[in-house]
C-alpha cells in the first residue's frame, strides 16, 4: 500500500526542509510506503529550488511547479491528480498540520473510514478569528445543504475511491470543504491541536476570508435566489396591506397624508433591495460565465514526474 502526502506550497521555502524531515521521520514509523507530492503554487521565494533539491535527494519526493499562483484549491487539485497512492493525505506546508498525526489517520482509514478528517482544536487561534469562523459556520450551515464543521479544514486522509469521487467533480470554482462533504462515504474525525504558523505568514486577509465565505454560500446551491423571491413576496404583501390601510383611512377620515418621508424611505429601501437581488443574480451569472470557459484549473511549469503521470 502506498500513501501519497499532498502538500500545496506557496512561499514556504523556510519551513519546507523541517516539514520534509518530520514527514520522513513519520514515514519510518508508518506501516505503508509513502510518496510526497509537493505543489509549488507559483511562489516567488526559493520554494521551487528547495523542492528540486528535496526531489534529488529522495526519490519519493514528487514536485509540480505551477506557472503562476493559482490559489490553494488549484494547487491541491494538481497534487491530488498526480497522487498515485491507495490513500492520500492532504496537508498544509506551514507546519500547522502535524505530520505525526498521519499514522493515526492511516489507522482510522484501515479501520474502514474513507475520509479521516483531522479536526483542529482552535484554542491557539486569535479570539477574533475563532469567533469569526464560528459565526461563519453557523451562517453557512443554515443555508447550504452539505454540513460543514468548524475546525475541519483540508487536513485529511482520503481513500482511493473517495479521491476518485472528488476528482470526478470538475467544477472550476472549487470550494473543497463543500466538495469533501458532498462526496459522502464513511467519515471519521480525529482531533488535533493546531500549531502556530512558524515561518512566513498566513496568506488569508480578512477580505479574502469574507470572499471565501460568500463563495461557500453561493457555490453550493441556489437558495439565495429562492430567498430573494421570498423577500419580494413579503415586500409586495406588505405594501398591499399598507396601501389598503391608507385607502380605508382616506375614505373614513379624509386625506391627511404628507407622506414625504414614507415615500423617500420606500424608494431607497426598494432600490437597495433590488440592487442586492441583482447582485445575487449577477454572482450566479458570473459563475456560469467562468464555468463555461472550461479553462484548466492550473498550468504546470515544471515537474519531476514522467510525462504520463503529469496531471491533465
- From the CB of 310, what's the least distance to ligand UDP, in Å? 19
177 binds, among Mg ion, ligand UDP, none (CB under 5 to 8 A by kind): none
Q: Could you tell me if 214 and 134 are in contact, meaning their C-beta atoms sit under 8 angstroms apart?
A: no
Residue count, binding to Mg ion (CB under 5 A):
3
**Long-range CB contacts (within 8 A, 24+) of 106-114:** 106/3, 106/30, 106/31, 106/32, 106/157, 108/157, 108/188, 108/190, 109/157, 109/159, 111/188, 112/186, 113/159, 113/186, 113/187, 113/188, 114/158, 114/159, 114/161, 114/162, 114/185, 114/186, 114/187
Q: Could you tell me if 228 and 280 are in contact, meaning their C-beta atoms sit under 8 angstroms apart?
A: yes
- From the CB of 303, what's the least distance to Mg ion, in Å? 24
Which three cell numbers mark 153? Answer: 479544514
Q: Could you tell me if 14 and 200 are in contact, meaning their C-beta atoms sit under 8 angstroms apart?
A: yes
Q: Which residues bind ligand UDP (CB under 6 A)?
A: 8-10, 12, 41, 69, 71-72, 75, 92-94, 96, 202-204
Q: Considering only the C-alpha atoms of the chain, give the largest distance between any 2 of them, rounded to a whole number of Å.
A: 92
Q: Which is nearer to Mg ion, 216 or 311 (CB)?
A: 216
DSSP code at position 67 = S
Q: Could you tell me if 41 and 51 are in contact, meaning their C-beta atoms sit under 8 angstroms apart?
A: no
- From the CB of 42, what's the least distance to Mg ion, in Å? 17
Angle formed by the axes of helices 127-143 and 206-218, nearest 10°: 10
72 binds, among Mg ion, ligand UDP, none (CB under 5 to 8 A by kind): ligand UDP
Q: Which is nearer to ligand UDP, 72 or 297 (CB)?
A: 72
Which of 219, 176, 190 lies closest to 76, judged by CA? 176
Q: Which is nearer to ligand UDP, 31 or 198 (CB)?
A: 198
Residue with the CB atom nearest Mg ion in the bound state: 94
Q: Which is nearer to ligand UDP, 13 or 163 (CB)?
A: 13
Residue whose cell numbers read 430573494: 228
- From the CB of 3, what's the least distance to ligand UDP, in Å? 18
The 3-state DSSP class for residue 124 equals: helix
Q: Which is nearer to ligand UDP, 87 or 93 (CB)?
A: 93
Q: Which is nearer to Mg ion, 4 or 96 (CB)?
A: 96
Where would I find the H helices in the chain? 16-29, 47-57, 72-82, 102-110, 127-143, 160-167, 176-183, 206-218, 223-253, 260-292
87 binds, among Mg ion, ligand UDP, none (CB under 5 to 8 A by kind): none
66 binds, among Mg ion, ligand UDP, none (CB under 5 to 8 A by kind): none
Residues 58-97 that bind Mg ion (CB under 5 A): 92, 94, 96
Q: Could you tell me if 34 and 3 are in contact, meaning their C-beta atoms sit under 8 angstroms apart?
A: yes
Residues 145-184 that bind Mg ion (CB under 5 A): none
State the Cα–Cα distance between residues 277 and 225, nearest whole angstrom: 8
141 binds, among Mg ion, ligand UDP, none (CB under 5 to 8 A by kind): none
9 binds, among ligand UDP, Mg ion, none (CB under 5 to 8 A by kind): ligand UDP
Q: Which is nearer to ligand UDP, 41 or 152 (CB)?
A: 41
114 binds, among Mg ion, ligand UDP, none (CB under 5 to 8 A by kind): none
Q: Which is nearer to Mg ion, 94 or 108 (CB)?
A: 94
Residues 95-124 that bind Mg ion (CB under 5 A): 96
- From the CB of 174, what's the least distance to ligand UDP, in Å? 13
Residues that bind Mg ion (CB under 5 A): 92, 94, 96
Amino acid at each position: 500500500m502506498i500513501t501519497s502526502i499532498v502538500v500545496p506550497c506557496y512561499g514556504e521555502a523556510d519551513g519546507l526542509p523541517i516539514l520534509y524531515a518530520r514527514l520522513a521521520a513519520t514515514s519510518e514509523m508508518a506501516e505503508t510506503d509513502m510518496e510526497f507530492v509537493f505543489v509549488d503554487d507559483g511562489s516567488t521565494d526559493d520554494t521551487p529550488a528547495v523542492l528540486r533539491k528535496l526531489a534529488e535527494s529522495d526519490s519519493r519526493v514528487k514536485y509540480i511547479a505551477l506557472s503562476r499562483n493559482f490559489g490553494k484549491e488549484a494547487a491541491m487539485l494538481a497534487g491530488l491528480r498526480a497522487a498515485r497512492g491507495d490513500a492520500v493525505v492532504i496537508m498544509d506546508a506551514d507546519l500547522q498540520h502535524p505530520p505525526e498525526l498521519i499514522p493515526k489517520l492511516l489507522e482510522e482509514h484501515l479501520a474502514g473510514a474513507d475520509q479521516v478528517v483531522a479536526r483542529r482544536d482552535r484554542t491557539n487561534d486569535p479570539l477574533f478569528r475563532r469567533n469569526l469562523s464560528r459565526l461563519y459556520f453557523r451562517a453557512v450551515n443554515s443555508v447550504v445543504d452539505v454540513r460543514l464543521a468548524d475546525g475541519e479544514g483540508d487536513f485529511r486522509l482520503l481513500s482511493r475511491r473517495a479521491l476518485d469521487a472528488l476528482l470526478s467533480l470538475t467544477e472550476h470554482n472549487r470550494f473543497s470543504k463543500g466538495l469533501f462533504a458532498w462526496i459522502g462515504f464513511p467519515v471519521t474525525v480525529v482531533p488535533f491541536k493546531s500549531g502556530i504558523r512558524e515561518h512566513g505568514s498566513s496568506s488569508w486577509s480578512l477580505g479574502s476570508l469574507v470572499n471565501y465565505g460568500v463563495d461557500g454560500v453561493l457555490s453550493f446551491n441556489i437558495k439565495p435566489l429562492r430567498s430573494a423571491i421570498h423577500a419580494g413576496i413579503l415586500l409586495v404583501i406588505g405594501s398591499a396591506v399598507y396601501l389598503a390601510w391608507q385607502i380605508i383611512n382616506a375614505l373614513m377620515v379624509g386625506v391627511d397624508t404628507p407622506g414625504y418621508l414614507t415615500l423617500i424611505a420606500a424608494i431607497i429601501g426598494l432600490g437597495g433591495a433590488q440592487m442586492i437581488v441583482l447582485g445575487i443574480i449577477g454572482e450566479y451569472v458570473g459563475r456560469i460565465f467562468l464555468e463555461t470557459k472550461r479553462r484548466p484549473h492550473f498550468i504546470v511549469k515544471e515537474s519531476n514526474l514522467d510525462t504520463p503521470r503529469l496531471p491533465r
